[in-house]
Amino acid sequence: MNKLTAALVFVLLLGGWASASVADPGRGSSVQCYVWANDPSSAIGVAYTPSTLYSYNAVGRSAGNTVTRTATGVYSVTCKGVGGGALFGGSGTWGPGGHVQVTAYGSEDADFCKVQSWATGGPDFTATVRCYNRAGALSDNRFDLLFVW
């Protein structure tokens, strides 16, 4: 096999391999939701809609984003429709995945917040956020959360 033939075979094989990824582009890298959890001392167990000026949901703008304080310093965030369990059109799935970032917000007691866990295997994205004061104890805080796929 001469060099030209070998190069042509390589290009054809590479082209066939690359076309498979083009056929299934997936979700790509995009912001699916973000929230500013602006009510740190909401009633425990009662969901609230975070500030609509500083929230976003890829499916319904800021509609469908909720935050629930489940205990002192512990919050559950839900973004409806942006999980991996169903495509936006309702057919097919992506499965679990994504990346989550959270940051404490403000200057009073906004020491630090961490993502304890998140789930994207169903139709919705959910995350549990824990916030702490300077002494390391759970503390009610405002925070920003970003979910990117």
pLDDT of residue 63: 74
Residue 73 falls inside a structural domain: yes
Residue 104 falls inside a structural domain: yes
Residue 13 falls inside a structural domain: no
The parent domain of residue 63 ranges over 27-148
Structure tokens at 60: 């319904």
**The 3-state secondary structure of the chain, one letter per residue:** CCHHHHHHHHHHHHHHHHHHHHHCCCCCCCEEEEEEECCCCCCCCCEECCCHHHCEECCCECCCEEEEEEECCEEEEEECCCCCCCCCCCCCCCCCCCEEEEEEECCCCCCEEEEEEEECCCCCEEEEEEEECCCCCECCCEEEEEEEC
pLDDT of residue 141: 92
pLDDT of residue 126: 94
pTM score, two decimals? 0.74
Q: What is the mean pLDDT of each run of 10 residues along the chain (149 residues)?
A: 43 39 48 92 96 89 88 96 65 68 78 92 92 92 92
Residue 86 falls inside a structural domain: yes
Residue 70 falls inside a structural domain: yes
Residue 5 falls inside a structural domain: no
pLDDT of residue 48: 96
pLDDT of residue 61: 72
Residue 18 falls inside a structural domain: no
Structure tokens at 128: 């549990």
Number of domains in the chain: 1
Residue 14 falls inside a structural domain: no
